[in-house]
Amino acid sequence: MQFSVIIPIYNRPDEIVELLESLTLQSAKSAFEVIIIEDGSAFPCKEVIEPYFNQLNLHYYTQENKGPGPARNHGASKAIGEYLIFFDSDCIIPSNYFNHIIEHLDIQPLECFGGPDESHPFFTPIQKAISYSMTSPVTTGGIRGGSRKMDKFYPRSFNLGIKKEIFESISGFADMRFGEDLDLSMRTMDKGYSVGLIKEAYVYHKRRTHFKAFFKQVFNSGIARIDLSLLHPGTLKPVHLLPSAFTIGYPLLLIMTIWLSSWFLIPFLLFPAIIFTDAFVRTKSFYVALLSTWASLTQLTGYGTGFLKAFWVRIVKKKGAFHNFAKSFYD
């Protein structure tokens, strides 16, 4: 069983070093090749990855900036593996990752699969807080592969595997700036291929390093959800409406506290109290729990605001696709 690991990269040379270093430590290192696609970076990674050409079956290609979807498609066109595995450049891969994949596929074959993400002990407090908000069922993050299912599991591009022949048969990733991984998973399911979660095959996902960039990410995720609902009718679930309800209702509680009754302050304070308590239990850190409260508020309001804007633009006004923060997404 041979795998082709495909990693698109844009202006993140330091991150790719950490990812490649983790791949050199894989106990099943002979089972995969690594393909890096430089997506028109102003700060290319070619020089910093030079030492890894002797440690990994590593290939490096460049292209004009076209976005992560086309970059992954470019990498897939160069791949020789039976399975394609896509990682984001801000991931670190545990040393037994491929062992878990091989063991699972031997027992329960899948044509497309994904794994969850976790927080690494050496992540910064902000990264741990963002990881909490993106993986906790309390913030709807549990739909990404946690043990509590709030929606059907769709593999995502930070940790996604698919048979190469199937990837080619569905024409790979669409030319979408956001939500392209969910679109791929949905099209794979629509074709009747087997798709599943391999819980043991988790990755450490660093995500954003500050809250401003995190807000931009989740804002565009909210926009993408509307786009996906138009492309794939029936995939919009009640859980996807919760951030928008929170974005409207939470500030309303504060207004009602000021104008009507102080009793409304109780539910207003209850949410951060629940988040803080749950995060503290999970992370064992007062500071990370405090940051997790802010990260969760950022996630829900960012996603909810993007969702509401896209609903107004695309559903009510019936305009075409759009996204925000295109030029400053990684800033």
Residue 16 lies in a domain: yes
Q: What are phi and psi of 236, to 5 degrees?
A: -80, 120
The pLDDT assigned to 12 comes to: 87
Question: Which residue positions in the chain have pLDDT lower than 50?
Answer: 143, 145-148, 150, 328-330
Q: Are 313 and 156 a contacting pair, CB within 8 Å? A: no
Domain span at 63: 3-124+138-209
Angle (nearest 5°) at CA 27 between 22 and 30 = 95
Quick count: other Cβ atoms within 10 Å of Cβ 14?
11
Residue 116 lies in a domain: yes
The pLDDT assigned to 147 comes to: 47
Quick count: other Cβ atoms within 10 Å of Cβ 267?
13
Residue 91 lies in a domain: yes
DSSP string, 206-255: ---SSHHHHHHHHHHHHHHHHHHHHHSTT---GGGGHHHHHHHHHHHHHH
CA-based nearest residue to 300, from 238, 219, 210: 219
CATH number, position 66: 3.90.550.10
Q: What is the pTM of this model?
A: 0.90
Residue 228's alpha-carbon distances to 168, 179, 222, in angstroms, are 21, 7, 10
Residue 94: both structure tokens together: 């545990």
pLDDT by residue (tens digit) across 306-324? Answer: 999 999 999 999 888 777 7
Q: What is the tally of structural domains in the chain?
A: 1
Residues 6+ apart with CB under 8 A from 65: 10, 39, 40, 41
Residue 106 lies in a domain: yes
Residue 131 lies in a domain: no
Residue 59 lies in a domain: yes
The pLDDT assigned to 305 comes to: 96
pLDDT by residue (tens digit) across 208-256? Answer: 778 998 999 999 999 999 999 999 999 888 888 999 999 999 999 999 9
Q: Which residues pair with 60 in a beta bridge?
A: 36
The pLDDT assigned to 60 comes to: 97
Residue 159 lies in a domain: yes
The pLDDT assigned to 28 comes to: 85
Residue 179 lies in a domain: yes
The pLDDT assigned to 140 comes to: 67
Rounded Cα distance, 85 and 44, in Å: 22
